[in-house]
Structures are given as C-alpha cells and as structure tokens.
Amino acid sequence: MMTRTMKVLLMIFSASSKGGRGVCPGFFPLILTALLFPVTGLTASLGPDISVPSRDTLILKLSDDAIAASPSPATTEGLSAQALAQQVRVHIERSRATGSPRPLGLAQGLLDQVPEQRWTPEVYLMRATLRQRLHRFDEAEADLSRVLQAEPNNAQAWLTRYSIALVRGDIATASRACNELAEVMASLLAESCTQEVASLGEQPEAAFRRLRQAVDKAPSASAVEHDYALVTLADMASRLNLPSAGDYWQQSLLSDPGDLYRRARYADWLLSNNQPDKALQITQGYEEIDTLAVLRAIALKRLDDPKQQALSEILDERFAEARWRGEFLHEWEYARYLLDVQNDSEGALEMARANWETQRAYPDRELLIRAAQAAGDQQVLQDLGIDNREAQPL
Amino acid sequence: MTRIFFALLLTMLAAGAHAHKASDSFLYWDAANPDAPGRLDIALVDLARVMPLDSNGDGELSWGELDSQQSDVTAYLASQVKLMANEAACPVRWRLAGLTQHSDGNYLAMEFRPSCPGSVTLPAQIQYDLFFDEDPLHRALVMTRVDGNERLTVLSPDQRSLNFADTPSAWETAREFVWEGMVHLWIGYDHMLFLLALVLPAALRRQDGRWVVEDKISVAVKDVALIVTAFTVAHSITLVIATLGVVNLPIAWVETFIALSIVAAAINIVWPFLGQRRYLIGFGFGLIHGFGFASVLSGFMANASSRLVALASFNIGVELAQLAIVVVVVPLIFLLRRQWLYQRVVLPAGVAAIVLTGMFWVWERAPLASI
C-alpha cells in the first residue's frame, strides 16, 4: 500500500513538472529526479550481454559427448529392459567421464519413458546409481533394497550400498554390505572394503598394511579389482597422513587419467602437502569441472598467480547460478572455495555443515573441521569429537 | 565428494568430481515494463539435442547455420513456451537476438514479445515445457522484475508455470483505480484549481463591472451541477480516446494548456472575457484535462488486469473527488457570499493566487527550454 501511494505521488509530481526549464526547474523536479534516479536504472535490460557473431563463427562443436549418442525419445518405444539399463548406464558413464550432470537428466528422462512394470532389477540398480549421483541417497537405498530382495547375490548392488553407506558415515551398514559382498565373492574387492571399514576403527595402520599385503598376494586379481584396491589404499594413506599417499594417488591417476575423482583427490593432496605448482599442473584444462576448478583456484591463490582473478569470477558466476537453481550438489566445492579462496570462514562453515548433512566421508569431515576452526566454532568441533589443538589441517 | 563404482563392469567407474551445472535455461521478464521484450537464453547443447541444427553435417555449428534455421527454432519454442492471459495463450513474436554466455558456455538468446488479445494488457502467466520430456532435471531459472525488485524462481517438471504477478481481480482493480482517480484529483492541484475557478462565481459573480450576489441556493447548485457535468463529460471523452490510443497529444503541451486553462478560468471570474456560460468553458477545457488524466492513468495501467475496468474506475474516482470538493465548497461560498471580507479580500486574493499559480505552471511546463 505504501509503495502504491508513493507511486501515485510520484506520478502526480511528474505530471506537474513536465517540461520544467533548466534554469529554475522548481522544487518538485528536484525531488523527482532524486526519487526517480534509482528508477531510471530499471530500464536496463535483464540478463548478460548479447552479441551477434559473424555468420561463420563456430558456436558449438556437435561432436561433444554431451550431444552425441544421446538416444532420441522415439527409440524408447518397445525398448527392452536390458537395453534401457544399458542406455542409462551409458549416460551415467558419460556423466562420470565428463563430470557433467546433464547426462544424468537424460538418463532420468529415459527411465521416465518406460513404465515401471517392465523394469528388471538391473534397471532399478541403474536408477539407484543415478540417484546416488544426485545425492538422493534414501531413494537410492530404496531401489537397492528392491534389487537385493530379488537378487540377494547381486554384488554390484551390495557394493553400491557399501559406497553410499560409507559416504553417509554409516559404518555399520557399510560393514554389513561389505560382509555380504565377501559372501557373494571372496576377492580383492571384498578385501578392499573389509580393510577400508577396519581402517575407520581402532587400528587404521594395521588395516592399511593388511590391504597392501592382500594386493601383493593377489596378482591374478582383475585389473578392476587392483585399481579399486589402489584407490582405497590412496584414500586410507591420506587419512593416515602417510607420506606415501601422494605416490598412491599419482599411481591411481596414472592408471586412469580420465577419472576426475582421483585427479581431484590427488590435487587436494598436493595442496595440503604444499605443492601448489604440481596441483596447478594436473588441474590445467579441467576448469570446467567445479571440483578441479576450485582446487586450481586455491593453487593459483597460493602461488599469487594473476590468473586467479579470472577463475574466481567464473566460479562466482557458477555458484550463483547453482544457488539460483537451488538443487545444490556443489556444497563441498563451494565451501572449499569460500574457505580457501574467498577467506569467508563463516560462509564456508555454513556450506560445509550443509554438505555434512548428506555426505560424511573423509574429505567432508576434514573440510568441516577446517571451516569450524577458521570460524572459531567450538561447538561443531566438539560435536565431531575433535579437540581443537590436535586437529590436523588438511 | 563421493565416488561410485561399477566394480563388475569392465571399466571401473569412480566418480565424485562435479562439473558445472545441469541443464538450465534462463528466462527474463520485466513485468513492470510492457515495452521491453522478454528474453529466453537456452543452452546450444540442449537445443542441438532436440533439433537437427547441423545442416551441413560437418559436426560443427556456426552462427550462420543457426540463423538460417531461425523459423524452425522459433516454431519449436512457440510450441514449448506459452504466455497466457485469462487462460488463453497470447500470440508471441519470437526473435533470435544473438549469442550470450552463461557459466557453462554458449547460449542462444531469444527475445519474445507477447501481444495478448482483448482488453488485457500483459500476460499474467508463463507455461514452460521446454526440454522437460527429454531431461527431467532441466530447469528454467526465471528472473522477473516486479515493482523494481528482481525475483528469482525456478520452473521444473513439477512446476511448469509461473504467475508473473498476482493478477488482481476486477473488483480489486476497480477499488484501486477509484482510489487513484480520487487521489489524483486532490493532489494534482491543477484540475482542482480549474474546477474551483469555475465554481466560485456560482455564489458571487462579476457582471457588468460589479459583483452580483446569487440569492437562491437552488440556482447556484444547478449552475455548479451543470459545470461539473460538462467538465466530467468532456474529460471522460478525451480520457477514453487517449487511453485507448485513438489520439495521442504531446504531454508537455497538454500540461501547459491545462495550466493556461486555470489562468483563463480565474481571470474569467473578475473579467468574464469568456462569457458567463461557464459550463461551456468547463466542457471546452475539460477536453484537454482528459488528456492530462490519461497520461497519469497510463502509468498505472501496466498493473491492471483489465483496461476497461481500470479506465471506468479511474474516471469514477475523479468524479467522486469532484463531488466531494463541490459538497465542501458550495455551501461555504454560499454562506460567505455577502461578507465584506469574502467579497473584498478572500475572493480577489484567491483569484490572484490561482492566476499566479497557473501562470507559474505555464512558464514551468511550456516545452520551450531550447528556444
């Protein structure tokens, strides 16, 4: 109502002062100019600048993975459950490889087009993985329960349940899932998860040693299992602050350079071990991946590199758009950015706590501790069972 | 950070690093500025997935290729994005405005201009279905400007429409515009002074070089009623034709002429150079005052759900305000008309004040600054 009255008054003042001369414009026009000054800004158009490129300007490479090979809706007619699961898997794999969440949406779109009556446990398993990627852990769990009810020996489902439980900090569930996995297939894979769970208990060093020995004793295990064990060892070594952690990360990155997770973890390890120049090297060309871009921005800042400004601007825009969208999958990244690039410990703590609501793995815990220390929040540290003096900076 | 595994696949999948955002479009709409087009930015990646844009099949999309398919693109968008007014879709003109960038790359910027049918001025709602079938994680990030404030909202498969503003009901519009009509007459002193200058002689007029007192109140009331009616009829006519856009006069000259009409009407009290039939003066100048009302009304129209309700209500508001003035002023001047103080001081001073104010406004408003 107040605004309305103000508008009425403004209208009337403006009506009674139109054409006022410059020499002595009168009182109302002066007030009016002052009042209208912010209003004139309103005529500015919304949104970023628009340009019209020349006709031969290349504006998109259609060979990009994001567009190529996406199944058209027409092909879902009469799609078998097996083919559906396969296509969803292709999308999830593409998302993992490119770090882009776009294919996850396409996977969801495919699933929506095939009625659930036709789904097999395999399709539910794919949806569980999709939901895991979207941090919808409860929904993913529901799908896994369904799969495991139908196929109690589905090792992939047990492993997925294990991963989710571990990320959520639910050690009991992780341990049960790992035991089930070992029942289904006694292997290096089962040994990896067994020792990983053990490393979260009383004797982490012993667990690390046991897994290392298991790797040495299983030369015939598949490459996949070896790789899994290697990443698990790298994770464990990081948690134990072993100097060999760097070697494990480097080795695991070499064995799969396209994997963004290990690249990010290695870059993070390099940063926390005072090697920002190396972190810069392995994040080069990965600015599109938020996790790697944030770690790169931290490295640039540590090196006082002038390029940090431009990268920070890009990240600011990305996070602003992510906040606008609302479904925030980047809490860890954003918290890290606020803490280590923007020096905003309060904002970082808020984000790290939001991240902690859904994700409770080692990097999530480390970040929360560091943000709480920077913000001087003793309560958070107490809740985590941390004595401020003994906490280790990442 | 999370990692996931397909341990039993041939390749192990360990993921957890997040890239940029998922698929988003950006929609901008300035509800308060009916002249500004709306804008929709869509990721080229998303558009390329639903339309075969690469006409020469070289795996690369150039601006020229996209531009030559403008009609296909606009037809597709028109089928997916609708602007609604009163539950009917408004015809929309889409235009390829150019290229823009958001945090994850190149976007096509499209402009849209809805022209809603009937008496409605602006669309009240947007219905958005773009990309949702292929990608349920797609979102439209909407920025609307309402009352000068930017409002951010998100459209999703579960929430596909957005009301730009809470469209007021006809009754709310009527109430609001009656009030605005009244306020405008009372605070926009020029119309009030003009009316006063016409009404004052109803009790005491100048005739043949001397003051003549009106004896009968019935005559005075009839006189005033005639003047007010004539003024009302005249300014209603021009208010309607100006609001409907039939005639448009330069507002600076209208304002100047309104100020002149005040001076003329006031001088006419002591020197009846326009004659004693003041209802004719009221009618003649009333035509010009109508254009003045129209310029004020147009400022509020953007928020009105219906032009006709707004127009009629605004006019009724003006009339009610006039009546209120008459009810207060006529008994007062009728009671005072024989008083020496009124005849010799109050009336002449009042007339002088009105003339001076009117002249000051003429000087202030005349669009002659450059001369």
B60-88 tens-digit pLDDT = 899 999 999 999 999 999 999 998 887 78
Kindly state whether residues B279 and B206 are assigned to the same domain.
yes
Residue of B nearest to A330 (CA): B18
Whether the pLDDT of residue B10 is over 60: the answer is no
A178 and A91 share one domain: yes
Average pLDDT, chain B: 82
CA-CA-CA-CA torsion sign (B238, B239, B243, B248): positive
Determine the distance from the C-alpha atom of residue B110 to the mean position of all C-alpha atoms in its chain, rounded to a whole number: 25
Same domain for B260 and B315, yes or no, is yes
Chain A: closest CA distance from residue B303 (Å): 11
Predicted pLDDT of residue A22: 29
Is the separation of the CB atoms in B42 and B107 below 8 Å? Answer: yes
Domain residues for the domain of A238 are 208-256
Pairing state between β B139-146 and B24-30:
parallel
Of B22, B361, B367, the CB nearest to A101: B22
Residue B10 lies in a domain: no
Same domain, A218 and A172: no
| B317 token code pair | 């508001």
Match 């005052």 to its residue by tokens.
B289
For residue B126, being part of any structural domain is answered with yes
Tell me whether residues A104 and B137 touch, CB distance under 8 A: yes
Nearest-by-CA chain A residue for B154: A325
Domain end position, chosen among B163, B196, B230: B163
Q: Do A149 and A244 belong to one domain?
A: no
**Contact between B255 and A51 using a beta-carbon 8 Å cutoff:** no
Closest CA to A66 of A236, A237, A288, A340: A288
Q: Which amino acid is at A224?
A: V
Interface test with A, best of B8, B9, B12, B184 (most A CBs within 10 A): B12
**CB pair distance less than 8 Å for A109 and B61:** no
Q: Do B20 and A288 touch (CB under 8 A)?
A: yes
Cβ of B8 within 8 Å of Cβ of A326? The answer is no
Residue B20: which of A109, A129, A290 has the nearest Cβ? A290
Mutate which: B364, B370, B371, vs A, most A CBs within 10 A:
B364
State whether B34 and B174 are in the same domain: no
A174 and A212 share one domain: no
pLDDT at residue B183 tops 50:
yes
In-domain check, residue B18? no
B154 plus B191 within the same structural domain: no
ipTM over 0.85: no
Q: What pLDDT, on the 0 to 100 scale, is given for residue A95?
A: 87
> Are A163 and A246 part of one and the same domain?
no
Residues B73 and B206 in one domain: no
A203 is a domain residue: no
- Look at residue A23 in the predicted model and tell me its pLDDT: 29
Q: A228: which 2 tokens?
A: 């899994």
| B136: chain A residues, CB-CB within 8 Å | 105, 108-109, 112
Q: Judge if B89 and B36 occupy the same domain.
A: yes
Which of A7, A62, A227 is the best residue to mutate to test the B interface, defined by the most B CB atoms within 10 Å of its own CB?
A62
| C-alpha distances out from residue B202 to B199, B206, B221, B228, B275, Å | 6, 10, 8, 12, 14
Q: Which of B21, B26, B151, B176 to mutate to test the interface with A (most CBs of A within 10 A)?
A: B21
Chains A and B: how many Cβ contacts under 8 Å? 297
* Whether A311 contacts chain B with CB within 8 A: no
Based on the fold, state whether residues B212 and B129 are members of the same structural domain.
no
- Residues pairing with B204 in the sheet: B213
Cα distances from A150 to residues A121, A311, B261, B279, in angstroms, run 7, 49, 91, 93
Q: Are residues A83 and A179 in the same domain?
A: yes
β-sheet with B81-85: strand ranges across: B88-89, B81-85, B125-128, B161-163
Same domain, A176 and A247: no
Nearest to B62 among A11, A59, A288 (CB): A59
- What is d(CA B21, CA A147) in angstroms, rounded to the nearest whole number? 30
CA distances, B258 to each of A18, A274, B264, B265, B272 (Å): 12, 78, 10, 11, 19
Q: Which of A164-168, A276-280, B229-233, B284-288 has the highest mean pLDDT?
A: A276-280
pLDDT in tens, B82-128: 988 877 888 999 999 999 998 888 999 999 998 887 656 677 789 99
Query: Is A260 part of the contact surface with chain B (CB cutoff 8 Å)?
Result: yes
Closest-approach residue (CA) in chain A for B303: A4
Instruction: Please give the pLDDT value at position A89.
Output: 92
Task: Indicate if A182 and A230 belong to the same structural domain.
Answer: no
Do residues B227 and B97 both lie within one domain? no
* Together in a domain, B155 and B270: no
Q: Is B8 inside a domain boundary?
A: no
For residues B214 and B335, membership in a common domain is answered with yes
Q: What domain count does chain A have? A: 2
**Could you tell me if residue A219 is inside a domain?**
yes
State both tokens at B249. Answer: 């006069």
* Residues linked to residue B128 through DSSP beta bridges, in sequence order: B81
- The CA distance from A234 to the nearest CA of chain B, in Å, is 13
Is the pLDDT at B15 greater than 70? The verdict is no
Q: In this structure, is residue B17 part of a structural domain?
A: no
Q: Which of B112, B139, B163 is the last residue of a domain?
A: B163
Q: Are B159 and B138 in contact (CB under 8 A)?
A: no
Tell whether A244 and A153 lie within a shared domain: no
Which pLDDT value is given to residue B177?
Answer: 82
Which residues of chain B lie closer than 8 angstroms to A188, CB-CB? Answer: none
**Which chain B residue lies closest to A189 (C-alpha atoms)?**
B7
Query: Out of A12, A109, A264, whose CB is closest to B17?
Result: A264
Which of B330, B201, B217 is closest to B265 using CA atoms? B201
CATH number at residue A122: 1.25.40.10
Among all residues of chain B, which has the CA nearest to that of A67? B49
Q: Residue B364's closest chain A neighbor by CA?
A: A20
Question: In this predicted structure, what is the pLDDT of residue A3?
Answer: 39
Same domain, A252 and A222: yes
In a domain, A263, yes or no: no
Q: Sign (positive/negative) of CA torsion B240, B244, B249, B253?
A: positive
Contact B369 A19 (CB under 8 A): yes
pLDDT for res A267:
97
Instruction: Locate the chain A residue with the closest alpha carbon to B185.
Output: A12
Q: Of B132, B163, B194, which one is at a domain's C-terminal end? A: B163
Q: Does residue B153 form part of some domain? A: yes
Domain, as residue range, for B231: 170-365
Share of residues in chain A with pLDDT > 90 (%)? 64
Task: Please tell me the predicted confidence (pLDDT) of residue A282.
Answer: 96
Q: Between chains, do A12 and B188 touch, taking CB under 8 Å as contact?
A: yes
Last residue of some domain: A256, A282, A313? A256
Please give the share of chain B, as a percent, with pLDDT higher than 70: 88
The residue of chain A with its CA nearest to that of B251 is A18
In a domain? residue A386: no
Q: Give the model's pLDDT for residue A342.
A: 95
Q: Is the model more confident about B31 or about A55?
A: A55
The reply to whether A88 and A159 lie within a common domain is yes
Q: Which of residues 346-375 of A touch B (CB under 8 A)?
A: 359, 361, 363-364
Q: Which of A18, A178, A239, A359 to mutate to test the interface with B (most CBs of B within 10 A)?
A: A18
Task: Please check whether residue A3 lies inside any domain of the structure.
Answer: no
The answer to whether the CB atoms of B15 and A67 lie below 8 A apart is: no
Secondary structure of A288-337 as H, E, C letters = CEHHHHHHHHHHHHHCCCCCHHHHHHHHHHHHHHHHHHCCCCCHHHHHHH
| Tens of pLDDT, residues B146-169 | 766 777 889 999 999 988 765 566
Which ranges of chain A have pLDDT less than 70?
1-44, 63-77, 328, 388-394
Map chain B to HEC letters. Answer: CCCCCCCCCCCCCCCCCCECCCCEEEEEEECCCCCCCEEEEEEHHHHHHHCCCCCCCCCEEEHHHHHCCHHHHHHHHHHHEEEEECCEECCEEEEEEEEEEECCEEEEEEEEEECCCCCCCCCCEEEECCCCCCCCCCEEEEEEEECCEEEEEEEECCECEEECCCCCCHHHHHHHHHHHHHHHHHHCHHHHHHHHHHHHHHCEEEECCEEEECCCHHHHHHHHHHHHHHHHHHHHHHHHHHHCCCCCCCHHHHHHHHHHHHHHHHHHHHCCCCCCCHHHHHHHHHHHHHHHHHHHHHHHHCCCCCHHHHHHHHHHHHHHHHHHHHHHHHHHHHHHCCCHHHHHHHHHHHHHHHHHHHHHHHHHHCCCCCC
Do B60 and B145 lie in a common domain? yes
Please tell me the distance in Å from B18's CA to the nearest CA on chain A: 5
Instruction: Examine residue B370 and state whether it is found in any structural domain, yes or no.
Output: no
Q: Is residue A310 part of a domain?
A: no
CB A93 within 8 A of CB A70: no
Number of domain units in chain B: 2
Is the residue at A140 inside a domain? yes
Q: Searching chain A, which residue's CA lies closest to the CA of residue B186?
A: A12
> Which one-letter DSSP state was computed for residue A205?
H
Do B58 and B153 sit in the same domain of this protein? yes
Asked if residue B208 has pLDDT above 60, the reply is yes
Say if B30 falls within a structural domain: yes
Interface of A with B in 165-184 (CB under 8 A): 167
pLDDT digits (tens, 9 = 90+) for B306-355: 677 788 888 888 888 888 888 888 888 888 888 888 888 888 888 899 99
Cβ–Cβ below 8 Å for B28 and A47: yes
